[in-house]
Amino acid sequence: MDKKIRVLIAKPGLDGHDRGAKVIARALRDAGMEVIYTGLRQTPEMIAGAALQEDVDAVGLSILSGAHMTLVPRLLDLMKANGQETTPVFVGGIIPHEDAVQLAALGVKAVYGPGTPTTRVIDDIKKFTNPV
Amino acid sequence: MTLAEKAAAGDRLSLARLLTMIESAVPQGLDALDELYPKSGRAHLIGITGPSGSGKSTLVNRLSLALAGEPSTEKKVAIIAVDPTSPFSGGALLGDRVRMRDLADRPDIFIRSMATRGALGGLARAAGEAALLMDAVGFPYVLIETVGAGQSEVDIARLAHTTLVIEAPGLGDDVQAGKAGILEVADILVVNKCDKTGADAAAHSLAVMLEIGEDLRKEAGDPGTVKWKTPILMTSALNGEGITALADTIRAHHEYLSESGDGEKRSQARALDMLERLIRERLFSAWQDEGEQEHYQQAKMDVIQRKLSPRKAVNKLFSQV
């Protein structure tokens, strides 16, 4: 039977710019993935809950507010508490290089800045996931 | 503990894993479903269908809160939200959670998005199995939201105990209402977005269509086996209007089902439906495995090249068996 990669695309925090998240969601769908899109202004608790219930193979976060060093570690903690510490997390947005290094150290698989080709994101997700 | 036992005990990750396995037909998941089957049959399965943009997801959000009551650690409401798989890429954009943000933090509510994966009829291929699992692990209410459905996507009525058809003002005239097969499957008709102009007119044309159907049945001398009179309710999922009344009507329908014996009939039909579907699938795969591949390939070519009609090709295939 088909193995489908299921990806959660979420937009934590308070900024309202969701075009990037929508572009990625659409690109992943067109690459044959099932994308669960949760919309704007999600708390880390909401995102972790959705990742759990949807049993996703990867989580993609779009953050443009600058709050990534608060939001991402919190989400990673919650996912760990839920038993999903091995589920890869990707972050896209405006992330300074030194923060990206720290996020990687915390376990984030990749950080994408503006202008990243969607094909790179697709390839990364395929590389890091192993769906049922 | 097995995954099935853990899921029944309330472990949400195990439940989520099982849903994935069932959806992808992984044997471990299907075995777990077999193990849990005797525990199923207790939940109230509620189908929510209607056209795209009628407000199904927003209504599910409100309705779930009304059915669940105060937050608790008990299992209360499971939601299966179906969106279409792209026929071109095989991918899907599952966006029903966007409208269900009030449910995101509830430990007693579980939402699962499912893609149709090629199934027609408005449901995901494994929606029936997923609903069975939610039922068996102890959710008293299982809400199944179909893809945006127009006129003939009525599979939900065979799966659910209570089918809600959601309409909204401005989506079509009364002739649309007349041809829509989904009206016939409605146990409860909902005119959502009743805060908008045209809601009364929409309710009126639905009422007229229901009356015409009723009159024609009487004229034909059909006393009707169904005693339930489909109500038309007005809601505004946006501001919460009419939601309590809707939840009450859903419960009333459930009572009607158990008192009239209709519920038992539907429940048996549902179980037999699944049995039949699995027999069909098994027969097809057995037939495929039996080495008729050569003839099958030939038949495909004949049909593609228009040498044989599909019907003739099937006749030929089975005369060769």
Taking an 8 Å cut-off on Cβ atoms, the answer to whether B110 and A4 are in contact is no
Altogether, the residues listed in chain A come to a count of: 132
Distances (CA, A) of B210 to A88, B161, B224: 52, 20, 14
**Which residue of B20, B92, B101 is in closest CB contact with A35?**
B92
Average pLDDT (B284-292) is 77
Taking the C-alpha atoms of residue B67 and residue B63, their distance in angstroms, rounded to an integer, is 6
* Helix (H) or strand (E) segment spanning residue B162: strand B162-167
**Which residue of A28, A52, A54 is in closest CB contact with B113?**
A54
**More reliable by pLDDT, B185 or B245:** B245
Which range among A4-8, A66-70, B288-292, B310-314 has the greatest average pLDDT? A4-8
Residue B223 has pLDDT above 70, yes or no: no
* Token code pair at residue B52: 């795209």
Choose from A18, A22, A33, A54 for mutation: most chain B CBs within 10 A.
A54
pLDDT per residue as tens digits for the range B185-207: 899 999 999 999 989 988 988 88
* Token code pair at residue A75: 């989400």
pLDDT of residue B205: 86
Q: Is A117 on the interface with B (CB under 8 A)?
A: no
pLDDT of residue A127: 94
Beta-bridged to residue B115, according to DSSP, are: B83
Share of chain B above pLDDT 90, in %: 60
| Owner of token pair 């008709």 | B189
- Is there a contact between B185 and B165 (Cβ–Cβ < 8 Å)? yes
**Which residue of A2, A26, A46 is in closest CB contact with B105?**
A46
Residues of A in contact with B93 (CB under 8 A): 25-26, 29, 35, 37
Residue B225 has pLDDT above 80, yes or no: no
Question: Between A and B, how many residue pairs show a Cβ–Cβ distance under 8 A?
Answer: 94
Enumerate the domain spans of chain A: 6-126
Share of chain B above pLDDT 70, in %: 93
Residues of B in contact with A32 (CB under 8 A): 89-91
pLDDT per residue as tens digits for the range B159-169: 999 999 999 88
Q: What is the ipTM of this complex?
A: 0.92
pLDDT per residue as tens digits for the range B104-155: 889 999 999 999 998 877 888 899 999 999 999 999 999 999 998 765 567 8
Residue B177 has pLDDT above 70, yes or no: no
Strands B232-234 and B44-49: unpaired
Taking an 8 Å cut-off on Cβ atoms, the answer to whether B94 and A3 are in contact is no
Q: What dotted CATH number matches B40-280?
A: 3.40.50.300
Confidence of residue B176 (pLDDT cuts 50, 70, 90): low
pLDDT of residue B181: 65
pLDDT of residue A14: 84
Minimal-distance CA residue of chain A relative to B88:
A30
Which range among A58-67, B173-182, B270-279, B295-304 has the greatest average pLDDT? A58-67
Enumerate the domain spans of chain B: 40-280, 291-320
Taking an 8 Å cut-off on Cβ atoms, the answer to whether B97 and A25 are in contact is no
**Which residue of A2, A31, A132 is in closest CB contact with B89?**
A31
Taking the C-alpha atoms of residue B49 and residue A111, their distance in angstroms, rounded to an integer, is 40
Average pLDDT (B80-99) is 93
pLDDT of residue A120: 96
Taking the C-alpha atoms of residue A80 and residue A60, their distance in angstroms, rounded to an integer, is 16
Q: How far is B94 from chain A (nearest CA, A)?
A: 5
pLDDT of residue B212: 84
User: Would you give the distance in Å from CA A30 to the centre of its chain?
Assistant: 17
Reference B84, options B41, B121, B109, B55; nearest CA is B121
Residues of B in contact with A131 (CB under 8 A): 24
Average pLDDT (A83-111) is 96
**Which residue of B21, B91, B105 is in closest CB contact with A33?**
B91
- Is there a contact between B112 and A54 (Cβ–Cβ < 8 Å)? yes
Residue A4 has pLDDT above 60, yes or no: yes
Residue B180 has pLDDT above 90, yes or no: no
Positions of E strands within chain A: 6-10, 34-37, 58-63, 89-93, 110-112
Kindly give, in sequence order, each residue whose CB lies less than 8 Å from that of residue B35, ignoring residues fewer than 6 positions away.
Answer: B2, B4
For chain A, positions 38-67, list CB contacts with chain B under 8 A. Answer: 38-39, 42, 45-46, 49-50, 52-55
Q: Is A132 on the interface with B (CB under 8 A)?
A: yes
pLDDT of residue B148: 82
**More reliable by pLDDT, B135 or B273:** B135
Spelled out in words, what is the top-level CATH class assigned to the domain A6-126? alpha beta
Taking an 8 Å cut-off on Cβ atoms, the answer to whether B20 and A45 are in contact is no
Reference B129, options B141, B148, B142, B140; nearest CA is B142
Taking the C-alpha atoms of residue B258 and residue A50, their distance in angstroms, rounded to an integer, is 35
